[in-house]
Amino acid sequence: MKIAFFNTKSYDQAYFDKANEAFDIPINYFETSLNADTATLAREHEAVCVFVNDTVDAEVIEKLAEGGTKVILLRSAGFNHIDIEAAEKHKVTLLRVPAYSPHAVAEHALALIMTLNRKTHKAYNRVRENNFSLERLTGFDLYGKKVGVIGTGKIGAIFARNMQGLGCEVVAFDPYPDDELEKQGVKYLELDELFGEVDIISLHTPLNDKTHHIINSHAVSLMKKGVMIINTSRGALIDTKAVIKGLKDGHIGYLGIDVYEQEEQLFFKDLSETIIPDDMIARLMSFPNVLVTAHQAFFTAEALTEIAHTTLQNLQDFADEKSDLPNEVKR
Ligand code: NAI
């Protein structure tokens, strides 16, 4: 089976070529992202490999199936960008990488918190310009603060433990509480209750109908003044307009995001010579207490190695017609 690999970056090719030494599967790397116009590139490739910002809607899936694609390999955990129904209709199997390094994402959430709090990004620039003043660099002790974790799956559970390690009190909301975490002192609350109690909120739920805009103006109105909101999960968990309002009136003290509602047009691209037409991201980046990273929470050597290996193993299992495909995405 041949793979049409979309949205290729240099690091993708490096890690996939290395992992592929054990599989020897032919891979055609395309720099372009997958969409209705580029789907024809996958003609006569039984496998297509996509990332989170590729378009994999009904139209694209139909075109891929017409061209002979039998399997779509998601080199991601999240699959909210895939039309699962259309894939089933066209008998295209979907295989993902459910976990590569939950530590990578949990640690990036902590990096956002630390940077926003202690302003190391500003200190770095100041000192390089011989400005050794401490004015406006005041932070706060994380020790003793209350942290709310929304979604305590693989990533959220690690994040919760990491925060406990720093001496924070951790509370959580998840429709399926984790007994182990509870034994370790994490208290589950109702969502509205959590919003009202915590100093820091970190989002670790998948994006679905129930979690879309889970941070909206109602949620913000319940939060403590000066709250820090961290999102390393999916952009649309946050209603960006509501959060901008909260930042403008000072209710939200800090915002750290690795994902953004409209990120498809921006992230993973070098747009440094371009006028950005998205006024919302431009407004967000104008706040001194907002930190944006471009979907890099997963981006560690360990995670890239695991993503490449699991993706190729998924295809190998599919090609071997294994009856049990544990990483298959179904409705
Ligand atoms: P997981 O499936 O292990 O955990 C998700 C948790 O969310 C589960 O415990 C589930 O019960 C809970 N949940 C479901 N609906 C909920 C709701 N309405 N309210 C609160 N909790 C709810 O997923 P994992 O591996 O922990 O990943 C979480 C998310 O992180 C992924 O869905 C993905 O969107 C994001 N992610 C982001 C990456 C990045 O680079 N920024 C990389 C990898 C994942």
Same domain? For 195 and 266 the reply is yes
- pLDDT of res. 222: 98
Mean pLDDT of 162-181: 98
Mean pLDDT of 31-50: 97
- At 271-314, the pLDDT tens digits run 999 998 899 999 999 999 999 999 999 999 999 999 999 999 99
Strands 27-29, 71-74: pairing is: unpaired
Q: Is residue 271 part of a domain?
A: yes
Work out the end-to-end distance of the chain between its first and last CA atoms, rounded to an integer number of angstroms: 25
- pLDDT of res. 197: 98
In which band, very low, low, confident or very high, does the pLDDT at 78 lie, cut at 50, 70 and 90?
confident
Are 179 and 205 spatial neighbours (Cβ–Cβ below 8 Å)? no
Handedness of CA 255, 281, 272, 4 (dihedral sign): positive
Same domain? For 78 and 158 the reply is no
Model pTM score = 0.91
Please identify, by atom number, the ligand 1 atom nearest to the C-alpha of residue 98.
25
Same domain? For 123 and 177 the reply is yes
Q: Is residue 179 part of a domain?
A: yes
In which band, very low, low, confident or very high, does the pLDDT at 99 lie, cut at 50, 70 and 90?
confident
Same domain? For 86 and 115 the reply is no
Which residues are CB-contacts of 145 (< 8 A; sequence separation ≥ 6)?
168, 169, 199, 200
Same domain? For 254 and 310 the reply is no
Q: What is the CATH number of the domain that holds 19?
A: 3.40.50.720
Quote the mean pLDDT of the chain. Answer: 96
- pLDDT of res. 307: 97
Mean pLDDT of 199-213: 96
Same domain? For 197 and 283 the reply is yes
Same domain? For 308 and 273 the reply is no
Count of H-run helices and E-run strands, the chain: 12, 12
Same domain? For 250 and 189 the reply is yes
Residues with CB under 6 A from ligand 1: 77-78, 99, 102, 105, 150-156, 173-176, 204-206, 210-211, 232-234, 258-259, 295, 297-298
Q: Is residue 223 part of a domain?
A: yes
Same domain? For 94 and 232 the reply is no
- pLDDT of res. 71: 98
Share of the chain above pLDDT 70, in %: 100
Q: Is residue 330 part of a domain?
A: no
**Which amino acids are annotated catalytic?**
234, 263, 295
Q: Is residue 327 part of a domain?
A: no
Domain of residue 132: give its range: 102-292
pLDDT at 207 over 90: yes
Q: Is residue 146 part of a domain?
A: yes
**Which of 233, 263, 296, 306 to mutate to test ligand 1, by most ligand atoms within 8 A of the CB atom?**
233
- At 223-265, the pLDDT tens digits run 999 999 999 999 999 999 999 999 999 999 999 999 999 888 8
The CA-atom distances, in angstroms, between 299 and each of 65, 134, 176, 302 are 31, 32, 28, 8
In which band, very low, low, confident or very high, does the pLDDT at 10 lie, cut at 50, 70 and 90?
very high
Mean pLDDT of 133-157: 97
Number of domains in the chain: 2
**Residue 1 CA from chain centroid, whole number:** 29
- pLDDT of res. 133: 97
Same domain? For 96 and 233 the reply is no
Q: Is residue 328 part of a domain?
A: no
Same domain? For 265 and 309 the reply is no
Same domain? For 313 and 288 the reply is no
CA of 234 to the centre of ligand 1 (A): 9
The CA-atom distances, in angstroms, between 197 and each of 43, 97, 226 are 54, 35, 12
Q: Is residue 142 part of a domain?
A: yes
